[in-house]
Structure 1
């Protein structure tokens, strides 16, 4: 079966960030696209405006007419419950039904695919790489796990000879890809609800590395043989050095196996984003992208939504970030401390998943203790049911701060207004993003 031969593409979980990139892809090649999601969001509103038919009630009566088992491919995410009416309707009536990861694998397998994997940093790295290839006018489509600010989209469309795909370790999805090249930014443990043991996560990354056909690029220190390494001041194959800050931005040089690039400037804050930029640079250099195009792209890449987005008003600094793992929290807080030394930092953190909160409780406690004060929101369950004893009050006890409280999301803005801070940092992967706009409006008025 050629996955592109259908007329209709129906998405169950249409508002997901990875799903919507596929929706936009199919729409771009002239297909009819529709779907269901349980929640209306800013993203679903944009998708509807782009001509994608989305409804918000699990009701088979709302499935568009014209859809049948012969002309339609149904795509769903693992987060969809087994008793979902629409999903079961399609299964019972012999529709072709595939997971998102399977579809991404099918779309990209006939292209020169570059997979970007890692527990942290894959969205920013794949977005930077997609931007470099677009600036260099390489025929490439990039499927992203976040909204790239330069394009206000989670897909970069510029031909199909090459593809960049975020290679997600959740549910071992990345093993569906057929990458010619790949990046692994990190192999830290996560998704222990799926993997069980931390070593199983590392084993799955080794399995991913084994399917890379041509060349692998890894952060120096990761245990992958035969790969190019990259890093910052690590004496890696692709190594950033002579790092300085000019006008508030990083400028650095990079040593490569093919010579050097000097005076590279990036707009993104944070040491981890410098590493992400070097990873993307390494692949682009290997692919033969001219160095002047690489430098131009890096200097013009604005960032990804909810990846250390900064806002300043009335003397207050506000940063919003997607961090939901202790390593990511550490990176976000480190970046704040580097940029704003001596400032009082208030963190608002929404834990994501009961299992992740349980499995990394001690590490979360240590990470959050680096703040000056903390508002800890209720745990966002996503696909999970509560686990007895695993609550935000329980997690708060592991945080070594004098100024710390637990709050609901609904009360969070009122609680923020009571706090004294110079820098406000909101972090989490659930629905904490719904308070970003109200916070900005309040700070602008204050």
Structure 2
């Protein structure tokens, strides 16, 4: 690949993706000319445009800026989320432009830094956001590329220097094998993306290969029940890095951190859920290993406010709690229920869930039904297809028929405000990785207006 120093212009095909937009912001900050295409306008693409990055939404070669039409010193970055039939992408291929996948580019720019890679089928975004925040608050020269919008920065990109890089190591399409991590973690290793891997064994093999990219076992942090070699991490279970003496004080976790070399007592952490507590311990361990001072970490952790759409409170009053979450796998739904039930054990809980991908719904239908059945009221939307074509017989109604909740129904998105308002459940959750996220703002405003909250 051409030396990045010689690249003057970058064009991102699928720039509105959370990972792509972080890279676009990085290169814009470096003074490069950055352009992009995406199929739909979103709040994130609006932000990119306001930051001086032109974005077009019509898939036509005529939309490509003149400054990008020459191959010289131009790099095209693509994401697997964009079809190979995309006209703009086909033009770049036909004209012989240099084209790289997002994961490949991330591997290149992190190669010459201390690379801290966060992997796992669940927990990547929150863990990497905590880690990036800890390093930034401890005045370390860190760049963090995040898979979500960190509340503290209102961005998926943190920049305090380039000597250390925090990156999400994405298992989709085996992208994380493009990285050369110095310190890494694996937060979880559940079967997922079976449309890519085929079966759970291949998922496990990919994570094993990823963990072996790190030279030293003591630089690999793993959830304590995973079949990998490294430093074990746990919550109230024996491990190298362990959260102990956990209690809830004023709606936040308070706990002690035990490590092989030191102990930090009375740490405060705002995010609910034992899974989130595990993410915090994982990030603390990696930060210490990367050289962060133990003296700055307690205050840094206490100031972390979370990631948008990861147990994000939209309304929190005495008579109404509205929570927005990205969960799209049964394990994530279980973790979400544990978190909300621990915080609100006596309250009725209503979940609105949009299944994501026909293949995932098919592969985990029984597990999804079991997870959803923990909630008092279940409202399903149609399956969000993303990159897939429908699968015969796999529908939200098929999934709903397996759910055993007290109240359950299938609705259109347009009916959600009315459905939420009519429910007597105090706790309401909007959940899924599809376009349900685009509805959260309007639903929140509607509920606030109608309920006076």
TM-score (norm 1): 0.98
Aligned to 1:30: 31
Distance 1:300 1:181 in 2: 24
2-structure distance, mates of 1:66, 1:435: 36
| Displacement of 1:313 | 4.4
Written as runs of structure 1 = structure 2, the 5 A alignment for 1:259-338 is: 259-310=262-313, 311-313=315-317, 315-338=319-342
Q: 2:228 aligns with which of 219, 224, 228?
A: 224
- Give distance in 1, aligned partners of 2:123 and 2:64: 37
SS in 2 for 1:24: helix
Partner of 1:246: 249
| 1:399 alignment counterpart | 403
SS at match of 1:444: helix
Q: Structure 1: which 5+ residue stretches go unaligned?
A: none
Q: Helix, strand or coil for the counterpart of 1:160?
A: coil
Asked if residue 418 in structure 1 is aligned to residue 419 in structure 2, the reply is: no
Please give the alpha-carbon distance, in whole angstroms, between the structure 2 residues aligned to 1:308 and 1:359.
Answer: 25
Residue 45 (structure 1) aligns with: 46
Give the match for residue 353 of structure 1.
Answer: 357
Aligned residues: 445
Inter-partner Cα distance in structure 2 for 1:417 and 1:284: 44
Q: Deviations over 1:166-224 (max 9, x none)?
A: 00000000000000110100111100010011111011000101111232010111111
Q: How is 1:172-187 mapped onto 2 (pairs within 5 angstroms)?
A: 172-187=174-189
Q: Post-superposition shift, 1:314? A: 6.6
- Equivalent residue of 1:262, what SS? strand
Partners of 2:192 and 2:184 lie apart in 1 by 20
* Structure 1 residue 247: Cα displacement: 1.0
Q: What residue number does 2:149 align with?
A: 147
Task: Determine if contact 1:345/1:424 at 8 Å carries over to the other structure.
Answer: yes
Once residues 439 and 5 of structure 2 are traced to their aligned partners in structure 1, the CA distance between those partners, rounded to angstroms, is 39
Report the Cα distance in structure 2 between the residues aligned to 1:241 and 1:314, rounded to whole angstroms.
Answer: 31
Kindly report the root-mean-square deviation, in angstroms, between the aligned alpha carbons of the 2 structures.
1.0
Does the 8 A contact of 2:417 with 2:447 survive in 1?
no
Map 1:117-266 → 2, pairs under 5 A:
117-214=119-216, 215-225=219-229, 227-266=230-269
Q: Write the distance in 1 (CA, Å) between the matches of 2:65 and 2:215.
A: 41
Distance 1:354 1:34 in 2: 32
Q: Report the Cα offset of residue 30 of structure 1.
A: 0.4
Please tell me whether the aligned partners of residues 314 and 444 of structure 1 are also in contact (alpha carbons under 8 angstroms): no
Contact 1:36/1:55, CA 8 A, preserved across alignment? yes
Structure 1 position 72 matched with structure 2 position 74: yes
Runs of 4+ in 1 over 6 A off after TM superposition: none
Once the two structures are TM-superposed, the CA of residue 315 in structure 1 deviates from its matched residue by 1.5
How big is each residue's C-alpha offset from its partner over 1:290-317, in whole Å with a ceiling of 9 and x where there is no partner?
A: 1121111100000000000112247110
Contact in 2 for aligned 1:316/1:443 (Cα 8 Å): no
2:341 is equivalent to residue 340 of structure 1: no
Partner of 1:81: 83
Query: What corresponds to 1:116 in structure 2?
Result: 118
CA distance in 2, matches of 1:4, 1:244: 50
Cα deviation 1:340-393 (Å, max 9, x = unaligned): 111111100000000000000000000000000111000000000111110000
2:12 matched to which residue of 1? 11
Equivalent of 2:380 in 339, 358, 376: 376
